[in-house]
């Protein structure tokens, strides 16, 4: 029963993150800038997570030191950069394409593990990377020429968001992992908030007075992007294996593309859906393939 709850929690968290492009695009349609949306989003996330952390009787500040508080905040800065680059990409590209570009964090993370942790990818992992790249080829709709003529800036922002997100995942698994998850997340969002305020310092005066539409949009991005995912991941991750958790989080990709199609009325071609399916299959193959290969090999 607990296992089922864990699966449900992770699916809700990952699925929620898939709706963030809807709110980001809505904010741009209202005429708000990237800086305005990101600043208010981070402030809402900062307040909400710290309130939850301080009210949660199980949360603890044990293990926080002068040496590790800065690395935790710097790891959080990668989340802030991911938001800036990811939503910045959506200013120039269809949300579905920005999502696909950001999702390249999967294979980039494997490369980071190889470079920094000296963990050489297994043959099944290399096959998965090749499949992901094939999936990107179809999902970006290059064959129909849809990618031609799109602003290079949007494409660069999109792929950079994949690098920063992969960096966040990599370093969040290395920095102060013994510290309470809620406290660590709140310190990370503090780093993100400070970074965003510095990057968009000129936009700070423009958010006052706070307009209702800006609060609505930023609250949606904050809720589905920075509050619900950590909440449900923290509850569900301990109840399932790491491999299953990674597979479940990939539900974000089809949900994000589906929401872009249904809610934002973006056209998603059949070949793009094929590419999305190939990417998901590659992720599942990478997570389960090695274990299945070992089991088959042990039986022979």
Q: pLDDT tens-digit profile of 197-224?
A: 999 999 999 998 889 899 999 999 988 8
Enter the tokens of residue 220: 């949606």
Q: What share of the chain is helix, strand, coil (3-state, %, to 5)?
A: 80, 0, 20
What pTM value is reported for the model?
0.85
| Domain, as residue range, for 157 | 2-299
Neighbours of 264 (CB within 10 A): 16
Query: How confident is the model over 99-158, as pLDDT tens digits?
Result: 888 888 888 888 888 888 787 888 888 888 888 888 887 877 665 656 667 788 999 999
User: What's the chain's length in residues?
Assistant: 300
Neighbours of 260 (CB within 10 A): 25
Name the burial class of residue 9, with classes exposed (0-12), middle (13-18) and buried (19+) by CB atoms within 10 angstroms of its CB: buried
Q: Which of 61-75, 187-201, 260-274 has the lowest mean pLDDT?
A: 260-274
Overall number of domains in the chain: 1
């Amino acid at each position: 029963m607990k296992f089922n709850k864990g699966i449900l929690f992770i699916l809700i968290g990952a699925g929620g993150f898939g709706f963030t492009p809807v709110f980001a695009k809505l904010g741009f349609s209202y005429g708000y800038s990237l800086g305005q949306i990101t600043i208010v989003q981070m402030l809402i996330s900062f307040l909400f997570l710290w309130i939850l952390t301080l009210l949660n009787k199980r949360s603890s500040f044990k293990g926080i030191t002068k040496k590790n508080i800065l690395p935790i905040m710097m790891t959080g800065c990668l989340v802030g950069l991911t938001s800036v680059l990811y939503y910045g990409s959506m200013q120039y590209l269809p949300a579905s394409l920005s999502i696909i570009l950001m999702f390249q964090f999967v294979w980039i993370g494997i490369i980071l593990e190889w470079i920094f942790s000296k963990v050489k990818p297994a043959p099944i992992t290399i096959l998965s990377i090749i499949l992901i790249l094939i999936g990107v080829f179809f999902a970006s709709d290059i064959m129909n020429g849809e990618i031609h003529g799109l602003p290079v800036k949007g494409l660069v922002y999109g792929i950079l968001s994949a690098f920063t997100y992969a960096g966040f995942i990599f370093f969040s698994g290395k920095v102060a992992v013994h510290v309470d998850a809620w406290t660590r997340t709140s310190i990370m969002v503090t780093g993100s908030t400070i970074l965003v305020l510095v990057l968009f310092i000129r936009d700070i005066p423009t958010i006052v007075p706070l307009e209702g539409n800006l609060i609505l949009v930023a609250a949606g991005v904050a809720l589905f992007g920075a509050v619900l995912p950590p909440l449900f991941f923290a509850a569900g991750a301990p109840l399932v294996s790491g491999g299953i958790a990674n597979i479940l989080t990939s539900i974000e990709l089809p949900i994000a593309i589906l929401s872009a199609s249904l809610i934002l009325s973006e056209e998603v071609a059949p070949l793009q859906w094929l590419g999305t399916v190939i990417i998901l299959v590659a992720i599942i193959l990478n997570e389960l393939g090695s274990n299945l290969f070992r089991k088959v090999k042990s039986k022979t």
